[in-house]
């Protein structure tokens, strides 16, 4: 998985769920790779379907339905998480513009619950953060294709 605008793709949470129950999860490393681990006491079953959800603070979540066919490892297609959610509420709207605009040219400031004006994580609030916001304006999820 890839975090838009970031060379370092670490820190995204990946969960395999059935309904609201998380059966396996993982956190991505800097390359964007991840390997999920079982959430005790659950084991993923061959032939069973799961919703795989990937999300990170400042980015929009992506969901894919997936049926397990091989164990222990299955490779899913790459997903790019859309950035710009400075207020960390999983929608990119005017509130994020206010957050990024208010700190423009300055070090990161916190917004909302766990949000930050520094979407791309380079330690400053700049045009790069604003471009991520602007390109994804109005979105509330990241596409996962195919």
Of the candidates 17, 89, 134, 140, which one interacts with Ca ion according to CB under 5 A?
89
Of the candidates 1, 96, 103, 130, which one interacts with Ca ion according to CB under 5 A?
96
Q: How far, in Å, CA of 104 to CA of 94, rounded?
A: 15
Would you say 21 and 42 are in contact if contact means Cβ atoms under 8 Å apart?
yes
9-48 residues in contact with Ca ion (CB under 5 A) are none
What is the smallest separation between the CB atom of 108 and Ca ion, expressed in angstroms?
7
With respect to Ca ion, which residue has the nearer C-beta, 15 or 85? Answer: 85
Specify the stretch interacting with Ca ion by CB under 5 A; choose among 9-17, 25-33, 65-73, 95-103. 95-103
- Write the CA distances from 135 to 34, 73, 129, integer angstroms: 27, 34, 10
Of the candidates 4, 87, 116, 142, which one interacts with Ca ion according to CB under 5 A?
87
User: 19: Cβ–Cβ under 8 A, 6 or more apart, which residues?
Assistant: none
Q: How far, in Å, CA of 96 to CA of 45, rounded?
A: 40
List of residues contacting Ca ion (CB under 5 A): 55, 85, 87, 89-90, 96, 118, 120, 122, 129
């Amino acid at each position: 998985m890839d975090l838009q605008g970031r060379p370092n793709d670490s820190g995204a949470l990946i969960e395999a769920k059935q309904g609201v129950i998380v059966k396996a999860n993982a956190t991505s490393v800097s390359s964007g790779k991840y390997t999920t681990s079982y959430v005790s006491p659950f084991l993923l079953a061959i032939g069973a379907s799961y919703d795989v959800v990937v999300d990170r603070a400042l980015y929009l979540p992506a969901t894919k339905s997936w049926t397990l066919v091989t164990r222990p490892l299955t490779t899913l297609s790459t997903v790019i998480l859309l950035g710009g959610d400075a207020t960390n509420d999983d929608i990119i709207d005017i509130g994020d513009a206010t957050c990024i605009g208010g700190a423009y040219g300055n070090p990161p400031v916190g917004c909302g619950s766990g949000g930050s004006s520094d979407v791309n994580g380079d330690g400053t609030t700049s045009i790069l953060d604003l471009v991520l916001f602007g390109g994804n304006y109005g979105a509330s999820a990241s596409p996962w294709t195919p």
